[in-house]
Amino acid sequence: MKNKEPKFRITFDDSARDFVLDAFGKKVGKGGFIVEKSNPAQKVLTPRGEEIKAEELAGVRKGSTVFLKSDIVSLVEAAEAIKS
C-alpha cells in the first residue's frame, strides 16, 4: 500500500524572509516595500491593492501566489487557504 503523504506546515523566520521572497521572484525594494525582482519599480500588492512592507509580510498563500500582510483579515484568508 502506498504511504499517504504526511501533512506539512511550512514556516520561515524573519532571517529567511529574503530567501523566501527570492523563491517567488520578489525582493525588498526602496522604502522597504516588497517588489518584483525583475521590475523593482513594480510593488507587490495584496488582493485589496495594499502595498506590503517587508516587516508586514505574513507569508504567501495559494491562489495565484498571494502575498499576505500580517493583519487579521489576511490571516483569516491564509487559514481558509490552508483549510481548503
Partner 1 sequence: MLKKILKAVGVDLSKLQELVKVVGSFNVKIDRSVHIHHHHVEGDTLYINPDRLSGKQKHNLKAFLRKGVEETGAVLEERCVSQVEEVLKALPCLENLTQKLIPIIPPEDVPLLKACLFLREKHKSGQNVDNLKAQIVNVYGMRGRNFSNLCSAGYLEDWMWPTYQELSKSFPDASEARARFLLLYNTFVNELPWTEFISSWGSLKKLSDRIVQKMEQNSKNGIFHLNVHALGKINTQKVDRVLPDIVKRTGAKIVRREQESTRIFIRLEMPRFLQSGPS
CB of 39 to partner 1, least distance (A): 19
- Quick one: DSSP state of residue 44? -
Q: How many chain residues interact with partner 1 (CB under 8 A)?
A: 43
Distance, in Å, from the CA atom of 73 to the CA atom of 67, rounded to the nearest integer, reads 13
Nearby residues of 70 by Cβ (< 8 Å), 6 or more positions away: 56, 57, 58
Q: Which of residues 42-61 bind partner 1 (CB under 8 A)?
A: 48, 50, 57-61
Which residues from 26-45 bind partner 1, rule CB under 8 A? none
Residue from 24, 27, 36, 37 that binds partner 1 (CB under 8 A)?
24
